Structures are given as C-alpha cells and as structure tokens.
Amino acid sequence: MIPNEAGKMVDHIWKNLSTYHPRMEPDTSIVMPNHFHGNLFLTRSNSTKAGKNKKNLTLAEVVQRFKTMTTRLYIEGVEKSGWTQFRRRLWQRNYYEHVIRSDEELNRIRQYIEENPMRWDEDDENPNRICIHEL
C-alpha cells in the first residue's frame, strides 16, 4: 500500500508527536485509506526536553491535538493541492485506547498493525471490495 500525500502528512505528524508532546513516544503505526492504527508510549516527563512551562497533557488531549493538527493540514491540502474533500469530519469522534501490559501483547498488536494493509481487500469499507454474495 502506497500512501498518498494526505497519508504521508498524517504519518509524518504521528511519527513526530514527541516534538510537540515530549511525554508521548510514537511506536508502530499504519495509515490506511479509511482509518489509522498507532501505538503510543507514555514516558516520564523530561523537564529539559519539555521545557519548564509545558503542561503534561493527557492521552485524550494529545489525540485531540493530533486530530486537530492533521485536519487543519488536510484542509490546507484540499485548498492548495486539490486533495479530496471530506464531509463533516475527517476523524471519527472517539478513538480506541488500550493499556498494553506485556511484551507479548505489544508484539501481537505491532504485528496486527503491520499486517493491516494485507487485510484491506476484505475490509467492508473498501470501495473496491468484491463480495461473493454481491456477485
């Protein structure tokens, strides 16, 4: 799966989250045509990196800022580069969060994320999907 410019933008913002939010360390991620998966590690605050006046944000605040930033940049891409417009909102309202409690679980989730593009042909929301019962 080859990401378009919008996908590259989302990927870039995700991979550089720690630049904006020093306590958040991005891990495995994948930008899909209609969704996104990513692991995020919450680290201890590093006052030198974070700066004395930076607030330690919650996960919900970081996710909201990620969605806001990528939406703003997507709208800019629509206006300046002809990216496909979206209706109502770019991101779903909520997100799924799960505390990973073991290396085994982390490795299983990483594998799921990395293999997600191989399952795109079976995704119910793939517009090119052909179902046997539809033939």
Q: pLDDT in tens for each of the 135 residues of the chain?
A: 788 999 999 999 999 999 988 888 999 999 998 889 999 998 876 555 545 546 778 889 999 999 999 999 999 999 999 999 988 889 988 889 999 999 999 999 999 999 999 888 887 777 776 655 443
The string of DSSP letters for 48-81 reads HHH-TT-----HHHHHHHHHHHHHHHHHHHHHHH
What is the model's pLDDT at position 105?
97
d(CA 83, CA 56): 34
Give residue 47's pLDDT. Answer: 52
CATH fold group of domain 5-134 = Alpha-Beta Plaits (3.30.70)
Q: What is the pLDDT of residue 88?
A: 83
pTM comes to 0.82
Please state at what angle helix 5-15 crosses helix 59-81, rounded to 10 degrees: 150
Q: Is 128 helix (H, G, I), strand (E, B) or coil?
A: coil
The two structure tokens encoding residue 29: 């991620």
Q: Is residue 63 a contact partner of residue 79, using CB atoms and an 8 Å limit?
A: no
Locate the domains of the chain by residue range.
Answer: 5-134
Say what the pLDDT of residue 130 is.
Answer: 61
Residues in the chain: 135
